[in-house]
Amino acid sequence: MTTIIGELGGLRAYTWVGTAYLLTSTIATPLFGKFSDLFGRRNFTQIAIGTFVVGSLLCAVANSMTLLVIGRGIQGIGGGGIMAMSVVVIADIISPRERGRYVGAFMSVYAVASVAGPLLGGFFVDQLNWRWIFLINIPLGIVASAMVHSSLRIPFVKRNTKVDVLGALLLVSFITSLVLLISWVSEEWGWSSSPTVAVGALSATLLAGFLWWEPRASDPILPLHLFKNRIVQMVIPMVALVGALITAVGAFMPLFLQAVSGVSPMNSGLLMVPMMAGITITSIWVGRRIATTGKYKIWPILGMICGIAGVVAMTFINDSPIAITAAVIGMVFVGFATGATMPTGTLVVQNSVDVRDLGIASSVTVLCRSLGQTIALAAFGAIFNAQVIGKIDDEYLRTPRTINNLPEPARSDAINVITDGVQAVFMWAVPLAVFAFICTLFIVELPLRQQTALKEQHDAAVL
């Protein structure tokens, strides 16, 4: 972003580059899930890929920060759709009993990409041009679209239904106001400012209107009966809280390790390798065990025990080799927790809902994970800022690797300030991990269905 701003200017629009994508992707996730339930998976998978490619092209040719923000917003629509449709399509063509293998593989791809992405982006900026960050998506998107066109031939039974336009508008408006509130409150407004109170009241009003309308809609955009499902009631907060833990580790461990080691931003992605390795190993192994045994409840429980241990280990972080080693091991344990809970949570929700609600139920799980990460970033950011503001130059927070080059005692003083802030974040993360563990205890274990969703839809249509 510093390179992009240096070329395009527009420093005041800096935060919007991230906020635009976050906002539109969050909005798109439930809408793609629901509309694909109504109008078919293949069309909306193609729409998601196409939208992402168009957004990437706009970003690549942007000659101003405004156009870049618009492109990022369009990219977010496609990105949210791709996330939703990838989960839903697998649910259509693979039975719940076998789905663990595939969901685990998806999670491992996500983990590898989370490390590879920053490295590849850093390479493009250093060796080529920042526009290649977006240009690379175009050939990949074209290949993906061609594969969908040739191979994704899912039968679709058209239903006579009306689109819940009012419900969609209320849902989109609520998510928009909530994401903007969360994204701006700690950076621009403050938690007790008039804009915060006003947008918070607007969010509450829109949510109340949405909850009032949905039971009255003939085919609601988000059926509220899903939340009467006990499994959904437990899995939704679990995935949101695990998303919060990932955010805590992903945002603050690299900051601390960069300050201590002086590693460059390009290589900062490597700092996440321990957690991502834990996610990859666990998600694949747990998926295979679920497919073999048909049992799933034990894995989120064991995962969150690891998660609690990992977060507790990171509360003792400091710049001593022993503490850093313990914190890195803690990252691995949080990875174990993520790999055991996220794929399993998606699987058990899909297994517990009616096939007609499969798309929206799957995308709501993705949505709640995203909201958990968004809320956590604002909340943990506020906790961290409360510990460090006024005690360290803001420039060191933006470029923490420079702290390692300071002469003593300035280096130790700066690292101590950051240590206090990071420790405070992880101390607040511990009760979140405990609450997620409690949720896992109340997940009901149902027999995993042997038939695919397509087969169930076909049988229902015949009847």
- Given a cut of 80, is residue 89 above it in pLDDT? yes
**Does the pLDDT value for residue 13 go beyond 70?**
no
Q: Given this model, what pLDDT does residue 345 score? A: 86
If pLDDT is split at 50, 70 and 90, which confidence band does 391 have? confident
**Residue 16 pLDDT greater than 80, yes or no:** no
**C-alpha triplet 417, 262, 253: angle, nearest 5°:** 55
**Dihedral angle over CA of 440, 441, 442, 447, nearest 10:** 80
Give yes or no: residues 186 and 284 share one domain. Answer: no
pLDDT of residue 361: 81
pLDDT at 396: 66
The answer on 189 and 115 residing in a single domain is no
Quote the pLDDT of residue 66.
82
**CA dist., res. 443 & res. 413, Å (int):** 46
The pLDDT of residue 459 is above 60: no
What is the Cα 310 distance to its own chain's centre?
20
- Domain check: are 255 and 279 in the same one? yes
- Dig out the tokens for 382 from the structure: 């506020």
pLDDT value of residue 156: 66
pLDDT of residue 435: 94
| pLDDT surpasses 60 at 436 | yes
pLDDT of residue 455: 63
Q: Is residue 265's pLDDT more than 70?
A: no
174-187 as b/e: b if 16+ CB within 10 A: bbbbbbbbbbbbbe
Do 224 and 207 lie in a common domain? no
Structure token pair of residue 176: 């928009």
184 and 119 inside one domain: no
Q: Which residue among 187, 218, 249 closes a domain?
A: 218
More confident: 334 or 276? 334
Residue range 179-235, pLDDT digits in tens: 778 767 655 666 677 777 888 888 889 889 888 988 887 777 777 888 888 888 899
Q: Is the pLDDT of residue 121 over 90?
A: no
Domain count for the chain: 2
Mean per-residue pLDDT, 367-374:
81
pLDDT for the residue numbered 451? 66
pLDDT tens for each residue of 38-66: 777 788 889 999 999 999 999 898 888 88
Mean pLDDT of 106-122: 77
Range among 73-77, 183-187, 404-408, 458-462 rated most confident: 73-77
Round to whole Å and give the CA distance between 233 and 76. Answer: 28
Helices (H), 185-224: 194-213
Tell whether 271 and 410 lie within a shared domain: yes
What local confidence, expressed as pLDDT, does residue 364 receive?
80
pLDDT confidence of 267, banded at 50, 70, 90? low
Same domain, yes or no: 178 and 156: no
Percent of residues, the chain, with pLDDT higher than 90: 14
Sign of the C-alpha dihedral, residues 372, 375, 381, 386? negative
Of the ranges 54-63, 408-417, 427-436, which one carries the lowest mean pLDDT score? 408-417
Work out the pLDDT band at 164, boundaries 50, 70, 90: confident
Output the pTM of the full model. 0.80
pLDDT for 137-156, tens place per residue?
999 999 999 998 888 877 76
User: Where in the sequence is the domain holding 343, given as residue range(s)?
Assistant: 2-161+219-462
Residue 429: per-residue pLDDT: 92
Residue 18: the pLDDT is 75
Residue 422, domain CATH: 1.20.1250.20
pLDDT at 189: 66
Residues 315 and 167 in one domain: no
Last residue of some domain: 179, 202, 218? Answer: 218
Average of pLDDT values for 411-418?
80
- C-alpha–C-alpha distance, residues 80 and 353, integer Å: 22
Q: Which of 218, 233, 257 is the last residue of a domain?
A: 218
Higher pLDDT, 309 or 126: 309
Mean pLDDT for 311-339 is 87
Decide if 246 contacts 283 (C-beta within 8 A). no
Distance CA 280, CA 107 (A): 7
DSSP string, 220-282: -SS-GGGGGSHHHHHHHHHHHHHHHHHHHHHHHHHHHHHHHH---GGGGGGGGHHHHHHHHHH
* Range with the poorest average pLDDT among 69-78, 229-238, 356-365: 356-365
- Are 202 and 295 in a shared domain? no
Do 264 and 212 have their domain in common?
no
pLDDT computed for residue 399 by the predictor: 67
- Give residues with Cβ within 8 angstroms of 431, minimum separation 6: none
**Confidence at 19, pLDDT banded by 50, 70, 90:** confident
Confidence label for 91 from pLDDT (cuts 50, 70 and 90): confident
Are 32 and 135 found together in one domain?
yes
Q: What is the predicted pLDDT for the residue at 142?
A: 93
Cis peptide before 409 (omega within 30 of 0): yes
For residues 177 and 252, state if they share a domain: no
